[in-house]
A and B are shown apart, each in its own frame.
Chain A
Amino acid sequence: MNDIVVEIRNVTKKMGGKTIIDNLSFSVERGEIYGFLGPNGAGKTTTIRMMVGLMSMNAGEIIIEGHNVATDRAKAMMHVGAIVENPELYKFMTGRQNLIHFARMSGRTISEERIQEIVKLVDLDQALDKKVKNYSLGMRQRLGIAQALLHHPSILILDEPTNGLDPAGIRELRDYLRRLSREENISILVSSHLLSEIELMCDRVLIIQNGQYVGERLLDGSKEGSQAEELQSIQLQVETMEEIQQALQDSAWSITSAEGNRVTLSLPHHDIPQLIEHLVKQGVKLYEVRKVTPTLEDTFLQMTKGGRIQ
């Protein structure tokens, strides 16, 4: 089922005579966690601002649940929950008052039970009647997510949600998001410049740089990288280095790196069976043959040609 919740079509944004977003297109499917990755200044926040109608665009269109954000903003926004940059809330009000505030703005009737349910989901029952100024950053982040979810949105947009969270907080957030996408069948778009967290959290990732589309990857690695011609890294565990070096001497393949009794080779995907056959015939004792899937970091570095990452 390829049910599209959000579609960005050829969007361009210029600011101060500079093209910040350049003909960007992508789409988010129902129920998936979609990573939105790019180095600092790539244009992630700008794209998100356009998606939620905070900024206009110079060209292109953004469609959310069939509604064009530029011409039908109110209808589109009924399906969106978002935190743009920081979880900005009214510090002088309690968590409950904040939720009531945003419930009234949602354009739907939101029951007391729904508020209770969401508060449970993000684990804020204890602190709900405290003023938000006394909340920790993690609690604010959770309250931010709670207010974004009140109205059963189809898409939750989070801009750098792990900013400022400690490792435990990040882990917690990741678990919440996973649970959410499962339990509420909600699509989640998470922007980040941190590869590691996108890798752990997302089903699919889009990479942008300088406002331009760089690439898109499925994160289980099963689909991409298996094309016959594509170079594939293979790691072999052998008995001795000499043995394999000898065996490969007159072949078309060569070792790219070695470590102890493990060697790595890079070769086209369709060559893998031949390589194994060749080694076996040469009497090389193979203990293990393993495909090395490039980490997102490798992909990212390769695609952005060394754009700043952390």
Chain B
Amino acid sequence: MKYFNGLVQNEWMKATSKRQLPYYYIFLALLAIGIGVVMRLAIGGRGEYAAIESMNVSISVLLTISSYFFIVVASQTITDEFKDGTIKQILIRPASRTMVLMSKLANLLLIMLSVYVLAVVLSAAVGFILFSGDTTMTIMDVLRQTLLSLPSALFYMLFAFMVAVLTRSLGLAISIPIIIQSLSGLTMFMANKSWYKFLIFPNLNWEGFITGNSNALPYEGATFLFTLVIYVIYMLIPLLASIYAFNSRDIQ
């Protein structure tokens, strides 16, 4: 376990030394401020809009953009090692290849966590500074909404990770998940098909289960258990495919 922690620390050190992550944090801060200022200018007075509502809007914009950032980072954590040849350096150590992959995934989760926390904190700070109006929305509503974006973000990140391991191509690893994500909306037209519920896309939306609002269910008769099972299966496939491919390859 101590060894594994060391590997995760390594991944974190690499991610933060690359400048990309620190710069992204700065970008998020500027974006949060920008969104707040634009809303304030458009709306006018401080009391005419609620801090919580502003926070909600800001978080959703920040996290939508961040879902692409996660895809990029997940791809790069693999493809950069191949591109720089450092993959050889890390695979000639006692760490098994599976362990190397797991440490990279653990680090991706840390990055994701840091971005989520930052998005919430920044949006809240900007919201409360710029707005003071009334609303029925609570902090809990905002946090719940925030967490509901996690299943989708995790899935596409893992998918990008898999494509990166399988193809070692940064371009493919970034574009394939983004294309799938963009086209996923089209599958709604297949909602009446019997196999629709076996697709991953409707099962990424957990809102109906968490809020108890039956209008928000992804399809009729959806149950949380079924959705969880489908979700776990769709998460295991890229995970196992990555582990298998990574272990069985010769490294040139």
The interface of chain A, by Cβ under 8 A from chain B, is 15, 49, 52-56, 73-75, 77-78, 80, 82, 84-86, 88-93, 97, 100-102, 104-107, 147
The CB with the most chain A CB atoms within 10 A, among B7, B9, B96, B252, is that of B252
Q: B47 at interface (Cβ–Cβ under 8 A)?
A: no
Contact partner of A89 among B89, B93, B95, B251, CB < 8 A?
B89
Residues of A within 8 A of B95 (CB): 74, 105, 107
Contacts of A90 in B (CB 8 A): 14, 17, 84, 86
8 closest pairs, A vs B, by CB? A104-B6, A88-B85, A107-B94, A74-B94, A105-B93, A54-B251, A52-B92, A55-B250
| Inter-subunit contact A105/B19 (CB<8 Å) | no
Chain A's nearest CB lies how many Å from the CB of B1? 13
Q: Does B114 reach chain A (CB closer than 8 Å)?
A: no
Closest B residue by C-beta to A74? B94
Q: Does B18 contact A (CB under 8 A)?
A: yes
Verify B92–A92 contact, CB threshold 8 A: no
A92 touches B19 (CB 8 A): yes
Residues in chain B near residue A86, CB distance under 8 A = 85
Q: Tell me if B10 counts as interface (CB < 8 A to partner A).
A: yes
| Pair A84/B17 contact, Cβ less than 8 Å | no
The answer, among B13, B85, B250, for a CB contact under 8 Å with A93, is B13
Q: Are B88 and A93 in contact (CB under 8 A)?
A: no
- CB-contacts of B86-109 with A (<8 A): 86, 88-96
Cβ contact within 8 Å between B94 and A88: no
Most chain A beta-carbon neighbours within 10 Å: one of B86, B90, B250:
B250
> What are 18 contact pairs spanning A and B, CB under 8 A?
A15-B250, A49-B250, A49-B251, A53-B91, A54-B88, A54-B91, A54-B250, A74-B94, A77-B94, A80-B92, A82-B92, A86-B85, A88-B88, A92-B19, A101-B14, A104-B10, A105-B10, A107-B95
Q: Which residues of A are found within 8 Å of B91, using beta-carbon distances?
A: 53-54
Residue in B closest to A78 when the chains form the complex, CB atoms: B94
B3 at the A/B interface (Cβ < 8 Å)? Answer: yes
Closest to A108 in B: B94
Q: How far is the CB of A210 from chain B (nearest CB, A)?
A: 20
Q: Is the CB–CB distance between A107 and B86 below 8 Å?
A: no
Task: Please state if B88 and A97 are interface contacts (CB–CB under 8 Å).
Answer: no
**By the criterion of a CB under 8 Å from any partner CB, how many residues of chain B are at the interface?**
25
Inside 8 A of B252's CB, which chain A residues have their CB? 49
Contact A92/B9 with A55-B250, A105-B90, A106-B94 known, Cβ cut-off 8 Å: no
**Residues of A close to B6: CB separation below 8 A:** 104-105
What CA separation (Å) do A85 and B251 show in the bound complex?
12
- Beyond A89-B86, A89-B89, A90-B84, 11 additional pairs, beta carbon < 8 A: A49-B251, A53-B91, A54-B88, A54-B250, A74-B94, A75-B94, A78-B94, A82-B92, A84-B88, A92-B14, A102-B89
Q: Is the CB of A107 within 8 A of B93?
A: yes
Are A92 and B18 in contact (CB-based, < 8 A)? yes
Instruction: Chain B residues near A78: list those with CB within 8 A.
Output: 94
Q: In the assembled complex, how far is the CB of residue B64 from the closest CB belonging to chain A, in whole angstroms?
A: 28
Q: 1/0 per residue B5-32: CB within 8 Å of A? A: 0110110011001110000000000000
| A105 near B7: Cβ-Cβ < 8 Å | yes
Supposing A104-B6, A105-B95, A107-B93 touch, asked if A92 and B250 sit within 8 A by C-beta, the answer is no
B245 CB to closest chain A CB (Å) equals 14
- Contacting residues, chain B, for A53 (C-beta < 8 A): 91-92
Q: List, in ascending order, chain A residues with CB within 8 A of B14's CB.
A: 90, 92-93, 101
CA distance A98 to B94 in the complex (A): 17
Contacting A97 at CB < 8 Å: which of B13, B86, B90?
A: B13
Chain A residues, Cβ within 8 Å of B89: 88-89, 102, 147
Q: Which residues of A contact B13 (CB under 8 A)?
A: 93, 97, 100-101
Residue contact A56 to B17, C-beta cutoff 8 Å: no
Contacts of B92 in A (CB 8 A): 52-54, 77, 80, 82, 84
- The distance in angstroms between the C-alpha atoms of A92 and B96, with both chains bound, is 25
Chain B positions within 8 Å of A105 at CB level? 6-7, 10, 90, 93-95
Q: How far is the CA of A93 from the CA of B18 in the complex (A)?
A: 8
Chain B neighbourhood of A102, CB < 8 A: 89, 93
In Å, the complex CA distance between A73 and B251 comes to 15
B94 in contact with A56 (CB, 8 Å): no
Closest chain A residue to B96, Cβ basis: A74
